[in-house]
A = this chain, B = another copy of it.
């Protein structure tokens, strides 16, 4: 009822729980009740009750008087199907690319207006890159994101362009017409480049990974420090890698697990 609207429109108990869980994405480790209260703006007693409930069901775990992600979440996250089949098919190709180039090799999927990295092999100089497996990045400011947007239905792209496009570097494309032109160009060439649009001093290239029906499931990207990486050379490598993954996905057909049950 307060005129100021909440973070999201969270009314349900589950919504509040999700708001609390999301605070742990930033990877700050363990958080206390007061810290969560401050960050979420929820009433302290609500945070207290909800967090303890989350501990009871195993989604969080208690470490002293602070709380952190529980192993149940780790367990559930490992079974995320969209990531799973894709990563398994991609890994060998990613290793090859990583060995051959020595640069950062990443696999990402598109979620709303952001990309989520599902696997990363870091290059020699890549230890300091902020991208993490499971982390997010604005789609318009990443070659992986741009290539996935380029092959997305128009309404999805419109959704991205509708919001504000954060400017991460002075080269980030934040102008909708410019971005649309770039996407059209990517659609023609089949590859997207990041020319210091995400991080100053870092460039990269990305190509789409498709399933047997041609639908784009994700993107393979190679990136590295400007000067130490040749985009024209990486261009073909990343295309070949993405095609290889796509072919394996089409052959393996069943994105379903090849694992045997033995329940539990």
A residues neighboring B (CB under 8 Å): 10, 12-15, 17-18, 21-22, 24-27, 29-30, 50, 53-54, 56-59, 61, 68-83, 109, 111, 116, 118, 128, 130, 132-137, 256-257, 259-264
Contact = CB atoms under 8 A, between A and B. Distances in A.
Given A24-B79, A69-B80, A118 B15 contact: no
A72 B15 CA distance: 13
B77 A116 contact: no
A118 B74 contact: yes
A257 B27 contact: yes
Secondary structure type dominating chain A contacts: mixed
Contacts of A80: 68-71, 73-74, 77
A70 B111 CA distance: 10
B130 A262 contact: yes
Given A26-B263, A27-B257, A77-B77, 16 more contacts: A14-B50, A14-B54, A14-B57, A24-B79, A25-B76, A26-B264, A68-B82, A69-B80, A71-B80, A71-B82, A73-B80, A74-B116, A74-B134, A75-B116, A77-B134, A130-B261
